[in-house]
Amino acid sequence: MYALVVAGLVLFAGFIRAWVTQHEIGSRFRTATVSRLSLLAVATLSYVLLIVGFLSGYDHTASGYIPNSEAANAFLPRYMDWSVTVPLLTVELLAVCAVAGAVARRTQALAVAGAFLMIFTGFLGAFVIGDGASVEALLTWGCVSAIFWIATNLVLIRAVRASLPKLTPASGVALKRATIVLLGGWVIYPIVYLIPLLGASGAATTVIQVVLCATDVVVKVGFGGLIHHIAKLRTAEDVRTGDDMHPEAIWIASEKQSDAGMPREVYLAEGASVHRRRARPSMTQATSSEAKTPESHDDLDMDQI
């Protein structure tokens, strides 16, 4: 119970921090911020359900908590959570990689699909096939889940390796660290998945819940913090090179990474201080293809702009 409540509070604190600091990230990396906020919100709600499930699935007695007929449902919210948050974790990582265009869309589609199928097939073996009591189903669908787990890892590693030569040393090191945290955390879940093979007991259930709580915090909050750090670094780099603008200076660990990026200069007519507003043309009005095109800027009447 203690681990569930603490993990839920940490996830909620992570959501608040992500919400408050979202303005630190440039629009180019907005996808990472949206993914982070979404997965932390979902994870926080799932822990509320886990706490409710624990209170209804276990009876408190003088000798401790005793499971009742509803105890099996205490783990269900985790799979619902992971079905949403694990794909979002892949989106969050890819959002700060240097892949773009059709390659980025294809990579994201493969990673999201692989991550979802990894969780869904594991859920089938743990709860659906044989009502979760079949060792054969647990192993069979666990192997299927492992195939999608390996495939998703390979997709993400390939994207990260392709991005490293295009990043600055600081961003590259941070991206490697974030990838290690995410993929390293994912190793824990298959191990926990197989613990029921050793036999059901109160001690095993406690170990599973505590380990999953700790792993969720590291993967969802710790990894998210690293992604935020990378996005800030890359935003500062874009501002310094003139590729993007940012309304305020970017600081990381009390070190200024870039000044505020100012909008490009807007050119006005000679002697004018603002652009003159023109009447909006009728939606039915078409421009003739034979309309004269100015040969040079000298042919433009600046009062009409």
Query: Is 269 inside any structural domain?
Result: no
Indicate if the pLDDT at residue 305 is higher than 50.
no
Indicate if the pLDDT at residue 127 is higher than 90.
no
Helix axes 76-95, 101-123, angle to 10 degrees: 170
Q: For residue 44, what are the CA distances in angstroms to 12, 13, 21, 213?
A: 6, 9, 18, 12
For residue 137, give both structure tokens: 């189903």
The whole-number pLDDT of residue 300 equals 47
Contact (CB, 8 A) for 179 and 116: no
Which structural domain range is residue 145 located in?
A: 2-255
The H-or-E segment that residue 65 falls in is strand 64-67
Query: Is 145 inside any structural domain?
Result: yes
Q: For residue 268, what are the CA distances in angstroms to 82, 215, 272, 273, 281?
A: 54, 57, 6, 7, 22
The whole-number pLDDT of residue 75 equals 77
The whole-number pLDDT of residue 11 equals 95
Indicate if the pLDDT at residue 229 is higher than 80.
yes
Task: Tell me the three state secondary structure of residue 178.
Answer: helix
Give the span between the Cα atoms of 224 and 37, in whole angstroms. 9
Angle made by CA atoms 62, 65, 68, in degrees to the nearest 5:
120
Beta strands (DSSP E) in 215-262 are: 250-252, 255-258
When divided into structural domains, the chain yields a total of: 1
Rounded to the nearest 10°, the torsion over CA 160, 32, 79, 8 is 120
Query: Is 173 inside any structural domain?
Result: yes
pLDDT exceeding 70 applies to what percent of the chain? Answer: 71
Query: Is 262 inside any structural domain?
Result: no
Give the span between the Cα atoms of 179 and 161, in whole angstroms. 10
Query: Is 301 inside any structural domain?
Result: no
In terms of pLDDT, which residue wins out, 245 or 147?
147
Q: What is the pLDDT of residues 75-118, one digit of tens each?
A: 788 889 999 999 999 999 999 998 888 998 999 999 999 999 99
The CATH number of the domain holding residue 18 is 1.20.1070.10
Contact (CB, 8 A) for 232 and 252: yes
Query: Is 114 inside any structural domain?
Result: yes
The whole-number pLDDT of residue 139 equals 86
Q: What is the pLDDT of residues 5-45, one digit of tens each?
A: 999 999 999 999 999 988 888 888 889 999 999 999 999 99
Q: What is the pTM of this model?
A: 0.77
Residue carrying the six token digits 């042919």: 299
Q: Which one-letter amino acid corresponds to residue 157?
A: I
pLDDT exceeding 90 applies to what percent of the chain? Answer: 40
Indicate if the pLDDT at residue 172 is higher than 50.
yes
Stretch 124-134: mean pLDDT:
75
The whole-number pLDDT of residue 141 equals 87
Query: Is 272 inside any structural domain?
Result: no
Q: What is the pLDDT of residues 235-293, one digit of tens each?
A: 877 777 665 565 565 656 655 565 555 555 545 566 665 556 666 566 565 555 444 55
Give the span between the Cα atoms of 100 and 106, in whole angstroms. 10
